[in-house]
A and B are shown apart, each in its own frame.
Chain A
Amino acid sequence: MSEDVTLSILRFRPEVDREPHFQTYTVPYREDWVVLDALNHIKDHLDATLSYRWSCHMAICGSCGMMINGEPKLACHAFLRDYRHDGIRIEPLDHFPIERDLVIVMDSFMEKLSSVKPFVIAKEEKPLSDGEHLQSPLQLMAFKQYTLCINCLLCYAACPQCGLKEDFVGPAALALAHRYNLDSRDDGNDQRADVVASNEGVWECTFVGACSEVCPKHVDPAAAIQQAKISASLDWFKAWLLPGAHR
């Protein structure tokens, strides 16, 4: 017996549409299909003009983030069988401009990401001949979960602060800043502080916690940001109270 499932997809084609509108498609239902499979079926067999991003189909590349029934999800990580009885409504990620159909403009995120200097800033450069920068398992454990981010931007779509304050650096970038600040090989805390400890940094976060709830890799950016708030506060007190400390 063949069954069908209907998807309602928000379309926006800038060359013909003044504003986005929903379009429905009916695709075959398969027990083992995720939403991304349904989109690929539409693209291949029903409507080649539908645009969306995807790559790996295994929750690693972070490309196929979209709103599925109002919840930020990876399309490759959301099975049709979990949604079909309520109907399936698909929209581009919230809080980002729509480039086309389900494709968002992520330029602002790329700028925020680079602003936190997401790389190891070594205490001192040393020649290759001196060997590796060694790190113990315990030192790795301090930040490992924050390395698992795939930049899928589900956290930005879940965070109301990202929608209300466009300058907010946001969960993923701040979690990554915290990841490098916690790294025993890194000495870049002061260089990141201008962004991380600013009004647009951790202090714009009101601890809604939605970022951590929707994260497909269990990075828990909300925890990283709260810890960064405590670190930033301690740094501020040290700078004002300790003699000789720089401000």
Chain B
Amino acid sequence: MQPVNAVEFDRVVKTYDRGVRALDGLTLAVPESSIVGFIGLNGAGKTTAIKLIAGFLTPDSGAVRVFGREIGTRDNSYKRDIGFVLDEPLFFDWMSGKEYLEFAGAMYGVALADVGRRSEELLEYFDLAEKANEPIRTYSTGMKKKISLAAAVIHQPRLIVLDEPLEGIDALAASTIKESLTQLAGRGTTILITSHVLDTVEKLCREVAIIHRGAILLQCKTADIRTSAHRTLADATYSSLEELFVDLVSDKMKKKHLSWL
């Protein structure tokens, strides 16, 4: 039997109203129990892809599958298996952190007896216990990201989708988030993460997928970056993901220069 992918984009095309083509035949497979870094420039199509998984958008053509099921807006039961941390954290900011976690747990269908216990553990784990009863709107960006992640894992999802979870947060919060993701990956949770921090992606992810102008340029194991890059760009040698990314993407862009420099 063929293993089922946690997420699969099959020749997905998405064009916005203004005629901007955000995804141009995106094909991507995220194998179950893997941790995949989804990287690209601003406007490359990462957030659009994430929004398709969340059901906030529908593709013009092609299909998006989660654990083998094609997703549509009518049936959102597939979200039981997913936890989302989106670029703009989603929550009711007038709620306290504790209330939000209990609310999220209940919405995901976690037994009420477990919701309270898990909320308290998560607040403790993410160093939020002290502010547990304060409204989320008073939290710092890092704390908001942590509470989003806590809400995304409260129901023990099989897949976690994170859109820029490390953006705008301090080193300590970033470290807590990375540590929790490593632990989750260790117990078999599939993680799809977009980030601009390529160094972190390289260390955290087992696989990377580079998206540019709505299509995948390269998908490979992090350990195979060099050999895969060789196949894509002949005679290239790379010491890091960042070097590879810059070379791959800049190769597709028009080179710019300043006349006076």
> A and B, one complex?
no
